[in-house]
A and B are shown apart, each in its own frame.
Chain A
Amino acid sequence: MRFSDSIRRCFRLIGCCLWPLAIPTGAVFSAAPASLPPQVIEINSVIEQQWRDYEIKPAPEVDDAKWGRRVFLDVIGRIPTVQELTEFARDRSPDRRQNLVEKLLEDDRYAEEYAGHWASVWTNVLIGRSGGTERGSLTSRDGMMKYLRDSFAANKPYNQLVYELVTAEGATKPGVEGFNGATNFLADKVNAEGAVLATSSTSRIFLGLQVQCTQCHNHPFNQWKQQRFWDFNAFFRQTRALRRFVSGTNDIDHAELINQDFGGEGGSPSDALIFYELRNGLMKTAYPVFIDDTAIGVSGYVSDVNRRQELGRLIVESPFMDKMMVNRYWAHFLGHGFTKPVDDLGPHNSPSHPELLEYLAGEVRSNSHDVKQLIRWIVLSRPYQLAARHASTNDIDDPLLGEAPKFSHFYLRQMSAEQLYQSLVSASGASVAGSYERQEQERRQWMSQFVTAFGTDEGDEATTFNGSIPQALMLFNGALTRQAISDAEGGFLKRVIAENRNTRDRVNQLFLAGLARKATRDELSIASKLQAAREGDETAMLQDMWWAIINSNEFIMQH
């Protein structure tokens, strides 16, 4: 008999007496403040109209504390501390949710965390979770992170960010002469196989066009033809990543991304074409031509035409860039984009709310691609205020069943590994002290245990931080958990004891710290039983409870 079978039997017997739970119902954001931006009103109107069309009743609004947890996680990448929740609870104005968003986006206190969080998110998008971690890699993960942190700290407009990533030249590694961290996006993607990886990544990430299949053949389901792939590819042919060695050794120190004259494959640099093969072995030619058929000069001399700068210019002029920006941020906050996958905006993959996607794409363009504005619109919109409650009144709204999302309840999803790490660190100081570099190194080492590669040339990878057993084992028994529940003097649990007058308050503080709510009566009752089992040792009981909290679905999920 398996352990789980015995648990299942037990629970069938006691299930009835433990429930229902007294769910704390805090204040909700009922009266929409008059000062909401027009974009929020438009989002609400489109989304609500669809609810009416489908006769869906949306979930109720989530209470303030849970909403606060949600917005902290999504905007700065960790759950709020009890102090931060208390501070939020003190604001009783109708604009309190807006005030919190402003604080997270603009207050100096959060500037570093905001930039760090989005740098992590975008590093994973741009170079994957394993980029720069393997021997012989030309990518500097530190360089990528530094560039992105600085960019998000300055709230660099999105179009500028994209332009810089596509056109960057310079050294990959911080501290090296000519350092330009933006080079790390392409450093490992241009040398092999005529830069096919640069081609497919750039078009997918920034334009939402999935072209990897069309490298070798015309694809039946994709408007892109093989010609398009190689036309797009031709933009990268002046680019090389040069290895720079640690002096006197064969160890790569860093790389330098440069543009150099491209002689073309036909032997004429002023007419620098490339060849590619059709399936039947016939050769065809390609020149740099953008997806909207805009051609640029055919010369391979950088002094005549800087191909990547031309590409950067064409991308930031493209409406696909705007839509891709909106779709990615929407998916980040609401758990599902307007398309699935989020980075496929091709004509074969129609969006769930096409008019809203178009509208928001237009709005980001007329608002200078201001990332923080887009974040405001999304987190203040109605769908983001809803509880994570899937009920019989909106049961058809279940994207897991393959339905197009209607955003009538907040879709439960697991935190990312990065969010979990930061949350544990901030909730219970489970981290090394020391410099940013030291902490970052620690964090990265922890993260690396969840990455596995697929063994293809395209650098595909998967994460085992996906709700599977290795993740559960890590949270049950791993070093991070041991640190979090440590009973050491000066540690989190000792502080909880010092800061509260009695056991009940201490247990409640654990629930607030982890779950943004107080303990239920049943939870308080099990805490006192645990304390008895620990022979009155309150610290040991708090260890047990804190362990249970951080291992729970309620902790690990964004809700």
Chain B
Amino acid sequence: MNLSSALRTPVGMSRRHFAQHIAGSAVMASTAFSFGNAIAANAEELRKNRKSAILLWMGGGPSTIDLWDLKPGAATGGPFRPISTTGNMQISEHLPLLAQQMHHLSVVRSMSTREADHNRGRYYMQTGYVPNPNIEHPSYGSVIAHELFDQRKELEIPPFVKVGGGGSGPGFLGMAWAPFSVSSNGQVRDLSMSIDDRRLAQRVAALDLIESGFIKQTRVGVPAAGGPASEHQKVLRKTLDLMTSDQMKAFKVAEEPQEVKERYGERGFGQGCLLARRLVEAGVPFVEVDLGGWDNHNDIFTTLGDRKLPELDKAMSALVEDLAERELLQDTAVIWMGEFGRTPRINQDSGRDHWARSWSVVAGGAGLKGGLAIGQTSSDGTEVESEPYSSEDFMATVCKGLGISLETTYTSKNGRPMKIAGGGKVIQELIA
């Protein structure tokens, strides 16, 4: 083992170069590693699944009866008026820009779920499983990242990026599939190390020695994989990939032209949507952008009309239109949802409370039809009057649109087989 051979390699800052330092360093032992392989692999890539998904997560439980499924004239209807759209449905008057994009998006008005607590609802909608104290299920993002990552050998940045907010994690898939959380300005803290790549490679060699020793010592005669110590090692690998990658420039949302930034809206959510587009362009299979503040138990109509809906309208319409203009929408699913809807009945504080029995979600792009209103609710919005759909069904539909096989089955850590999307059935009307 002769570390000093790494010294003779000239210093350079590109990632490939860095990887060669690692591979070439005798500490790590040398192995065949050439550009030729990578290029061959890339050619193969072209035939693979290029699809991505962007989840717009509305934390707090958005009032879908005031956005997508209005009940004008009903006691539960509230003050908002419906307007026509470019799709085959009407939506809230406070979403005029989105109304011009609805031929790309469909509204599923017949969601009917049972979880009306924030944490349980979030878990259920983001994993397709109800919370269970004995197991943690992977979220949408982790599942889709996991399924599509291996088909993108060239991707060096994390396959699941989360912009703003908190959310469900990777569950039993392990921390290597956890969301990479950034703020909406795309700034990644502590990205660069002030030493040259050769020295970094040497430090990593020492680190690996300690890490592997610890794994051996803490797991004896049981598989190392899955233990917390080896999870840590996997995350370090991904971190090094990203630190040394030119692809990180996708996060530099500030480099977009001013008019593009303005088009999306310069608040956090708008910039987050813009960042999502950049990441999808760079090949990231799953991006989640969070917009919180939908938990409107009080004074809901002022909050929605003055603040939430204009912010959503601007950012989401810009995203859909921009993706379509760039011909990315056909490969990019756009999903809009929260943990549940809100009570049709308006409460004593002019608010609406948690409601899971009848509510809406929105989706389009990537093999999903636009312009449709699927399912319907009763005239006061309190009941679903067509076939009710669950989180599992919606997730299965999105996976189908993304070309992920619904026969995909994971084995949880305790050996139970788990079907992707909780075994949900595809909403056929949505499939293009």
Which of B15, B242, B354 has a CB less than 8 Å from the CB of A469?
B242
Which of A7, A9, A478, A523 has a CB less than 8 Å from the CB of B190?
A478
* Inter-chain contact A1/B242, CB cutoff 8 Å: no
Interface centre among B202, B227, B239 (most CB of A within 10 A): B239
Q: How far is the CB of B156 from chain A (nearest CB, A)?
A: 5
4 smallest beta-carbon distances between A and B, as pairs: A455-B292, A402-B134, A455-B59, A462-B166
**Cβ of B1: which chain A residues have Cβ within 8 Å of it?**
14, 525, 529
Q: How far is the CA of A37 from the CA of B61 in the complex (A)?
A: 52
What 0/1 pattern do residues 444 to 458 of A give for CB contact below 8 A with B? 000001001111111
* Inter-chain contact B232/A13, CB cutoff 8 Å: no
Q: How far is the CA of A40 from the CA of B164 in the complex (A)?
A: 46
* Inter-chain contact B220/A455, CB cutoff 8 Å: no
Q: How far is the CA of A308 from the CA of B88 in the complex (A)?
A: 56
Q: Which residues of B (14-57) have their CB < 8 Å from a CB of A?
A: 15-16, 18-19, 22-23, 27-31, 33, 37-38, 41
The verdict on B406 contacting chain A, using a C-beta distance below 8 Å, is no
The verdict on B141 contacting chain A, using a C-beta distance below 8 Å, is no
The verdict on A281 contacting chain B, using a C-beta distance below 8 Å, is yes
Which of B59, B61, B158, B175 has a CB less than 8 Å from the CB of A467?
B175
* Inter-chain contact B221/A392, CB cutoff 8 Å: yes
Q: How far is the CA of A557 from the CA of B60 in the complex (A)?
A: 34
Q: How far is the CA of A153 from the CA of B30 in the complex (A)?
A: 57
* Inter-chain contact B214/A552, CB cutoff 8 Å: yes
Q: How far is the CB of A301 from chain B (nearest CB, A)?
A: 25
**Cβ of B212: which chain A residues have Cβ within 8 Å of it?**
11, 15, 18-19
Q: Which residues of A (8-65) have their CB < 8 Å from a CB of B?
A: 8-11, 13-15, 18-21, 23
Which of A216, A341, A398, A520 has a CB less than 8 Å from the CB of B133?
A341
Which of B2, B29, B38 has a CB less than 8 Å from the CB of A10?
B29
**Cβ of A457: which chain B residues have Cβ within 8 Å of it?**
60, 295, 297
Q: How far is the CA of A13 from the CA of B28 in the complex (A)?
A: 8
* Inter-chain contact A349/B133, CB cutoff 8 Å: yes
What 0/1 pattern do residues 281 to 297 of B give for CB contact below 8 A with A? 00000000011111101
* Inter-chain contact B189/A468, CB cutoff 8 Å: no
Stretch at the interface among B95-103, B249-257, B315-323, B345-353: B345-353
Q: How far is the CA of A457 from the CA of B117 in the complex (A)?
A: 11
Which of B156, B229, B292, B413 has a CB less than 8 Å from the CB of A454?
B292
* Inter-chain contact A559/B218, CB cutoff 8 Å: yes
The verdict on B431 contacting chain A, using a C-beta distance below 8 Å, is no
**CB contact under 8 A between A545 and B206, given known A213-B120, A467-B235, A469-B235:** yes
Which of A277, A390, A455 has a CB less than 8 Å from the CB of B227?
A390
The verdict on B84 contacting chain A, using a C-beta distance below 8 Å, is no
Chain A: which residue is nearest B181 at the CB level?
A464
Sorting the interface of chain B by its residue count into under 10, 10 to 19, 20 to 34 or 35 or more gives: 35 or more
* Inter-chain contact A469/B27, CB cutoff 8 Å: no
Sorting the interface of chain A by its residue count into under 10, 10 to 19, 20 to 34 or 35 or more gives: 35 or more
The verdict on A544 contacting chain B, using a C-beta distance below 8 Å, is yes
The verdict on A488 contacting chain B, using a C-beta distance below 8 Å, is no
**Cβ of A545: which chain B residues have Cβ within 8 Å of it?**
206
Q: Which residues of B (182-196) have their CB < 8 Å from a CB of A?
A: 188-194
**CB contact under 8 A between A466 and B190, given known A341-B133, A390-B219:** no
Q: How far is the CA of A213 from the CA of B353 in the complex (A)?
A: 12
Which of A402, A413, A467, A515 has a CB less than 8 Å from the CB of B135?
A402
**Cβ of B153: which chain A residues have Cβ within 8 Å of it?**
1-2, 5
**CB contact under 8 A between A391 and B220, given known A217-B116, A544-B206, A553-B233:** yes
Which of B19, B132, B158 has a CB less than 8 Å from the CB of A6?
B19
Q: How far is the CA of A515 from the CA of B214 in the complex (A)?
A: 10
* Inter-chain contact B414/A533, CB cutoff 8 Å: no
Which of B28, B228, B294 has a CB less than 8 Å from the CB of A455?
B294
Q: Known pairs A9-B31, A402-B133, A468-B235. 18 more at Cβ < 8 A?
A: A1-B16, A2-B241, A13-B29, A216-B116, A217-B116, A340-B133, A389-B218, A398-B413, A453-B166, A455-B59, A466-B175, A468-B179, A473-B239, A478-B190, A522-B213, A525-B1, A526-B3, A554-B229
* Inter-chain contact A390/B291, CB cutoff 8 Å: no
